[in-house]
Structure 1
Amino acid sequence: MKHATWKSPLIYLLSFLVVMFLIFILVYRVGGETVLPNSADLSLQIKNSGVNPPRVEEMPGAYLKWLAKAVRLEFGTSLSWHRPVSELILPRLWNSILLNLFSLFLIFSGGLTLGSFLAYHTPQAGHPLESLLYLLYAIPDFVLGVGLLSIFAFHLHWFPSCCLHSFNLHVNGPLQNTADVLYHLVLPGVTLSASGIVFITRFTKSSLDEILNAPFVFALKSRGLPRRIVLRHVLKNGIFPFLTMAGFIIPAIVSGAVVVESLFSFPGIGKTFFDAVLTRDYPVILAVVFIDTLFVFFGLITSNFLYRHFDPRVKNANS
């Protein structure tokens, strides 16, 4: 099955092109007016900007022209910021990547820790911690973010309510700057990662419960091996399914970042996308969707690659 090594990326590439074409049609065919101040002026700019929606029969050609420029990171000029779109979003992209990486760290470190604790210390369902996690999973990101802002930012003043840097801080070296950035990432990072932590916790507990009841675990315990040795073998066999989880977690983070960044006024592309939607800034909308979709497909391809090459069962089946 050697053809599978090139067949999967080709399928992902075709899927990406089709998805972007559908989004391209959707963005340009949806009507409506801008909803921000000076919306009349913005609507007039849109009509006179040369980016009026192509006719239906012109869509394929217009999409191919846009795609040819997009792969070179040429997205045109923003209608509301009056700047090249690439200059507008690329600096903010790094801020979003930083927030997403911080959230991924919280998701997997928190989920693995809580899931392992529940699997080893509470093998039966019904632990109060599980009930608390189910409740947390049911809370929407926006509601959770508002709650965290109200308690920890506005009432207790433990964390900042917005931005990525302190305006009144005189940075004395990279260590202080890093600490300040992490300080600002706490509330949006926790908000963005909360549901993911619960998801990984439940998945970890389910996987470890199954592995702990496997025959090889009973054999290890019967030989009198230390608990840490048994745990190492259990985690080694249970780590492979987590490689595929990244492919599901990354799209959820990307989609949730729009709400979280807007709520915390975080200077990332999620908030930029939200502002662009309000002003019908087509070039910015398409640019952000293009980049986000790339990240989603990159996550899916990476998790698929890791799973195929590091899980012996899949590796032997493909050889």
Structure 2
Amino acid sequence: MLSFLGRSLIQKIVTLFFVSVVSFLIIHLAPGSPSQVDPMNPKFTPEMVERFREAFHLDEPLHVQYLRFYADLLTGRSVSWKDNQPVLLKIWERFLNSLPLFIVGTLITWTLSFPVGIRSAIHRGGFYDRSTTFIAYFLISIPGFFFAYVLIILVVNSLEVPVIGMKTFGVGDASWIHGVMDRVWHLLLPSVLGATGGIAVLSRYVRSQMLEVESQDYVRTARAKGLTFDQVHYKHALRNALLPFVTMFGLILPGLIGGSVIIESIFSWPGMGRMAYEAILARDYPVILTVNFISAVLVLAGTLVSDILYVVVDPRIRL
């Protein structure tokens, strides 16, 4: 087991190095440059451009820029070109804003997807299965921005409450319980919107996995032995159907950094996805590369968690 985990860790470290190199090259080979002269701004002179390039080492070879950037990143000295703020501090502030959206959305998705998918598989072809299939494909097909505006209109018109931003303006003057409930209310709608697509996709995947396992010989044998309904479906079928979700569980970690640009933009939520989008528009290379690097770390950390969970749940890997 230790040799398996050791090989997996070494492979992920090597992968992370190549990801950092490729992402750095792609960013610098993309059209445009943060130091290009803006003809619409007369104050942005070629002399200022040259001082900018020297200050941020853009006049040096790419391999030197690569080493300087990751040295500054790992020592906490990397700053944003847009506002000269420390990149890690800037990302940490936005990360704390995206974290509640991620946690609530993930809990809603995984809590509802499994009961819906399992019941659809057990009652295959019935009214419940057909209804959930129709709703799932409808949620997958509907554009997220359109669904968001529909929800906003329905909630605002019916309940007459604000839903934009992280909190209501002026709520700080109220009691702390009102402040907490206001934050929860603003968090609920974007979290539900972010979870709808995940519920639709994951419930279909749970259904397909359960149907595949239900057709296996050992499940038919369990039925023939006279085991109860719960023992057949939840002890024999479900436990084996959960193995592929170990991989999916590890891959939800990148959602901590990615967020949703559309949801955060519509609801004016200052999260990670919106910050990355604004950094791309501003060609803020330190922020873009740092977000990409952290995303790669989370992806590889998630796959490492999946490897460890596989070792725990599957005896064949331990052997």
Query: What TM-score do you get using the length of structure 2 for normalisation?
Result: 0.82
Please, which moves more after superposition, 244-253 or 194-203?
A: 244-253
Give the AA of the match of 1:299: G
- Which sits farther off after the overlay, 266-275 or 24-33? 24-33
Q: Secondary structure at the match of 1:80?
A: coil
Q: Any conservation in 1 of the 2:91–2:272 contact (CA below 8 Å)?
A: yes
Letter in 2 for 1:296: V
Residue in 1 that maps onto 2:142: 139
Do the aligned partners of 1:106 and 1:190 also contact (CA within 8 Å) in 2?
A: yes
- Does the Cα contact within 8 Å between 2:109 and 2:199 map onto a contact in 1? yes
Equivalent position to 1:263, from 261, 266, 280: 266
- Amino acid across the alignment from 1:115: G
The answer to whether the 8 A contact 2:249-2:306 is kept is: yes
**Contact 2:253–2:299, Cα closer than 8 Å, also in 1:** yes
Match for residue 119 of structure 1? 121
Kindly indicate whether the alpha-carbon contact (under 8 Å) linking 1:80 and 1:281 is maintained by their aligned counterparts in 2.
yes
CA offset digits 1:110-157 (Å, max 9, x no partner): 21121012112235797132122112112343333333333334x334
Change in Cα spacing, 1:287 to 1:2, as seen in structure 2 (3 Å) is closer
Pairwise mapping of residues 191-270 of structure 1 onto structure 2 (< 5 A)?
191-233=193-235, 234-251=237-254, 255=258, 257-270=260-273
| 8 Å CA contact retained: 1:42, 1:80 | no
**CA, structure 1 residues 254+297, in 2 after alignment: closer, same or farther (shift >3 Å)?**
same
Q: Secondary structure at the match of 1:75?
A: coil
Matched, 1:4 2:4: yes
Q: Tell me if structure 1 keeps the 8 A contact 2:164–2:267.
A: yes
How is 1:1-319 mapped onto 2 (pairs within 5 angstroms)?
A: 3-32=3-32, 40=41, 48-49=51-52, 50-51=55-56, 53=58, 58-76=61-79, 78-123=80-125, 127-153=130-156, 155-157=157-159, 160-170=162-172, 172-173=175-176, 178-233=180-235, 234-251=237-254, 255=258, 257-315=260-318, 319=319
SS of 2:268's equivalent in the other structure is coil
Partner Cα separation in structure 2 for residue 259 and residue 249 of structure 1: 18
Distance 1:217-1:8 versus aligned 2 partners, 3 A rule? same
CA distance, structure 1, for counterparts of residue 220 and residue 175 of structure 2: 55
TM-score, normalised on structure 1? Answer: 0.82
Distance of 2:317 and 2:44 partners within structure 1: 54
What percentage of aligned pairs have identical amino acids? Answer: 26
- Structure 2 distance, partners of 1:128, 1:47, is 63
Aligned counterparts of 2:151 and 2:297: Cα–Cα separation in 1: 31
Residue ranges of structure 1 left out of the alignment (5+ in a row): none
Letter in 2 for 1:9: L
Distance 2:42 2:315 in 1: 61
Cα offsets for 1:254-310 (capped at 9, x unmatched): 545233222221121221122222222222222222222222222222122212332
Determine if contact 2:105/2:195 at 8 Å carries over to the other structure. yes
**CA shift for structure 1 position 177:** 5.0
Distance 1:289 1:220, change over 3 A: same
Change (3 A) 1:169 1:227: farther
Deviations 1:138-193 (A, max 9, x none): 2343333333333334x3346643222333335645x6555433322222222323
**Higher mean C-alpha deviation, range 265-274 or range 191-200:** 191-200
Gaps of 5+ in 2: 35-39
CA gap 1:122/1:269 in 2 versus in 1, 3 angstroms: same
For 1:252 and 1:143, how far apart are their aligned partners in 2?
Answer: 22
Larger radius of gyration: 2
Count of paired positions: 308
